[in-house]
Amino acid sequence: MTILGRSRRPDPASWNGTSSSHEQPPPSPDRWAWGPSSPPPHEPSEAPSAPSFGDPTLVPAPGEIGPGLARPAGLVARDVSAWFSKNKVLERISLSMDPGKVTALIGPSGCGKSTFLRILNRMHELIPGAAMSGSVTLDNVDVYGPSVPVTQTRLRIGMVFQRPNPFPSMTIAQNVLSGLRLSGLKTQNPDALVQECLERAGLWREARNRLNEPGGAISGGQQQRLCIARALAVRPQVLLMDEPCSALDPISTGVIEETIRELCHEVTIVIVTHNMQQAQRVSHDCALFLVGGESEPGRIVEAGPTEQVFGDPVDPRTADYVHGRFG
């Protein structure tokens, strides 16, 4: 994983003639800005002819979930800045998240880690007044490109949230398949897909005799693994995890971490965590986000292999943070 160089996007300072952290978001109708006054463009009524994500021999055809797994994909952010109305929260984040690896995003609360995570699969644009600039590419395809529907982006880049959120009125099996129903996808063998996803999420042995019970009837740790299984059912190439263990006990946390270690060979994982020991245990690469002061946007101050970031950091602020001297 590397912090990338500058992209060819226009310099955000050109929007108002300043490079300060209080610069304004890109004016409408910039395609990277959303909100009540500038909604995102409507998706095309017909499927785009190009580009498409991944190798078509490895990724199921549109409309159907086939056998086999999608291969992990590389995810690259270049010069990503973000705003909520006029409040700038991220400053030119450039980061490469390598395929088949776990990248941990660490840093104090309020430095933009979760915002950055949501930008990666276009969930940031759901927030009224939100805006961003820069680019995010999945296997060299711009996920914000005009020919890429947002639904396709979110199918390829899945999300697991901080607190388990299974659908309470659905059974365990229905929860696993709910992503297909909501996306209009089909599978020829739903029972096999349910078993496969629960096995990959480390829940099959505990849930195989309870598939018709409500998803909310199992423990919190089991619910979080159910949410992972639900995300895996649509064959994502990247899985984003926003503090997935923060609401769990140590034993459930250990099970989730083991699931992450097993899944990373099949799907690229980006995880936000405040647990430094967890970042060391599960991640291959790590990026530290910090803010320079009050009302300043978050920046990456150091990124690289986890062993280096924790064992031999370049920036003294990194050493102070990972060893608990602040944050």
Interval 270-299: pLDDT, tens: 999 999 999 999 999 999 999 988 889 999
Provide the H-helix boundaries in 264-311.
276-282, 306-311
Lowest pLDDT segment from 84-88, 132-136, 322-326: 322-326
Query: Which two three-digit tokens encode residue 261?
Result: 């270690």
Given this model, what pLDDT does residue 191 score? 94
Whether 108 has a pLDDT exceeding 80, the answer reads: yes
Q: 229-271 pLDDT, tens per residue?
A: 999 999 999 999 999 998 888 998 999 999 999 998 899 999 9
- Distance spanning both ends of the chain, measured CA to CA: 24
Beta strands 64-65 and 186-187 are: parallel
Q: What percent of the chain has pLDDT over 90?
A: 59
Given this model, what pLDDT does residue 181 score? 85
Q: At what angle do helices 172-183 and 190-200 cross, to 10 degrees?
A: 110
Q: How far apart are CA 126 and CA 34, in angstroms?
A: 8
Given this model, what pLDDT does residue 147 score? 87
Given this model, what pLDDT does residue 64 score? 52
Q: 8-64 pLDDT, tens per residue?
A: 333 433 343 333 444 555 544 343 444 333 333 333 333 333 344 443 323 344 455
Given this model, what pLDDT does residue 185 score? 85
3-state DSSP percent of the chain in helix, strand and coil, to 5: 30, 20, 45
Given this model, what pLDDT does residue 6 score? 34
Q: At what angle do helices 250-263 and 190-200 cross, to 10 degrees?
A: 110
The pLDDT confidence band at residue 173, using thresholds 50, 70 and 90, is very high
